[in-house]
Structure 1
């Protein structure tokens, strides 16, 4: 698998995105379950399929760009509102980046690591044992560290924040049962992690919202940054609703690049 990905990493990003677009549509047409979930999730947010049709190909592009992001040379990255990072770093506090399954979330962490320095991102280890070494090693880049969704991983992220560094999470990822609360997401109950807000409160960190826009014709990515509005609520349910509301606002900026096929409303699995 690794040799193949390394070869694919040599291809232009535009070509990888083109192949990914085709794969996205093949998956959509071939899987009734994925297709119905995609349409239903978009409808919950108030979108007709015609309004988010482009997200089918975007999901495929997400897969197609993986070889380049994991094994290829650095991609072109632009910034929108980078002043928010400058202000946060000037305060000496750690930064918690919250990013939904929107655009290229791999690029947001890589972009920060390239431009600013160390960042630790939370990730869920691959369930298949043979994939774990590949995923763990492929995401390793200069100044980019990964923390698994375990107690040790949480401690690693908290230590980074206390050192004034940055961490990144996808808070619209469904956590295992007992590690989240039910909160509205586009007006419907969704099991939501509480880790992001707990980390920020405990470390006194700055919270920033971020997402990586996938530019056309393989031109790279543009990272959009937004400030967190107000204070984080002390009640877990209220804080989770705040996070979901912030993620909704980002998704509405570009619904054509959101992963509508992600099982956001599923019942959480039991903790292993």
Structure 2
């Protein structure tokens, strides 16, 4: 019995979208940031649902701020989030010479030491609007393409474009639930940028994030053990000048501890400390607290 070859969708927008991506990626950094601010103003009415999610998260996580300060943080966060879409495009389409001078990187020695031991590396970070750009910048500094974990889009045409764009910049694009693919890449010595700070309703534990129980994936230590990979925290932010500050840290002392819930709590505590330094640059527009402990109400009604 023969199997029909998988049909590749013919999507008319892919070629012009790629051309637009190349144009955006070539913009000077100051112009790209200005374009992000303008796009935020233009898109503000269309961002109603995401604005509500972000406003709810900010109110939950920063109760010490008064209403005016929370509104100011919300505006800054929406601007960073919309600008992050342009930073995604830069990360995918920019040539290496366009990225030179955009980043300052600390901690490459930790990556190189893990590779010298023959290990793959799981770069443990968080969901920030410029995550993929910073993964690309780290790869440029290291002289080696990284792999990333990304959620597939349900629309086949959009997914075709996203996957093709990402593969211009990264060694591999691993599906969010593709555990075998992740293990295979790590076992072969690959470097994978990975974040486990979105809402998980499986293999999870409720651990504090800004004092609120958050459903958090507990499988990361097991993934590292099964692939013999080093787990290195990877943090980054965009500073006031528009440059990116990247930092790779050594594995946290005592992590993993053998207790999956305790390890997830340590991850959330470390992430919270990083987010508090630049709270406007975290991805507050997603429903981080969607899954609730039994008996607790929906926080996003």
TM-score range, shorter chain: 0.7 to 0.9
Contact kept, 8 Å, 2:121 with 2:230, in 1: the verdict is yes
Correspondence for 2:35: 19
Correspondence for 2:131: 105
2:186 is equivalent to residue 161 of structure 1: yes
2:80 is equivalent to residue 80 of structure 1: no
Q: Give the C-alpha shift of residue 101 in structure 1.
A: 1.7
Q: Against the structure 1 CA distance between its residues 27 and 187, is the aligned structure 2 distance closer, same or farther, given a 3 Å change threshold?
A: farther
* TM-score under structure 2 length normalisation: 0.77
Aligned residues: 264
Deviation per CA, 1:39-93: give whole Å up to 9, x if none: 3212333363167353232112101223222222232322023333233333332
> Distance in 2 between the 1:227 and 1:51 partners?
35
> Distance in 2 between the 1:109 and 1:28 partners?
28
What are the ranges of 5 or more consecutive residues in structure 2 without an aligned counterpart?
A: 1-16, 293-301
Q: Tell me which structure has the larger Cα radius of gyration.
A: 2
Correspondence for 2:257: 233
2:30 is equivalent to residue 5 of structure 1: no
Q: Give the C-alpha shift of residue 188 in structure 1.
A: 1.2
> Distance in 2 between the 1:98 and 1:185 partners?
16
Q: Give the C-alpha shift of residue 12 in structure 1.
A: 2.2
Correspondence for 2:56: 40
> Distance in 2 between the 1:121 and 1:241 partners?
23
Q: Aligned runs of 1:44-59 on 2, under 5 Å?
A: 44-46=60-62, 48=65, 49=70, 52=73, 53-59=75-81
* TM-score under structure 1 length normalisation: 0.84
Q: Aligned runs of 1:37-186 on 2, under 5 Å?
A: 37-46=53-62, 48=65, 49=70, 52=73, 53-74=75-96, 75=99, 76-102=102-128, 104-114=130-140, 115-141=142-168, 144-150=171-177, 153-175=178-200, 177-186=201-210
Q: Give the C-alpha shift of residue 138 in structure 1.
A: 0.3
Q: Against the structure 1 CA distance between its residues 101 and 130, is the aligned structure 2 distance closer, same or farther, given a 3 Å change threshold?
A: same
What are the ranges of 5 or more consecutive residues in structure 1 without an aligned counterpart?
A: none
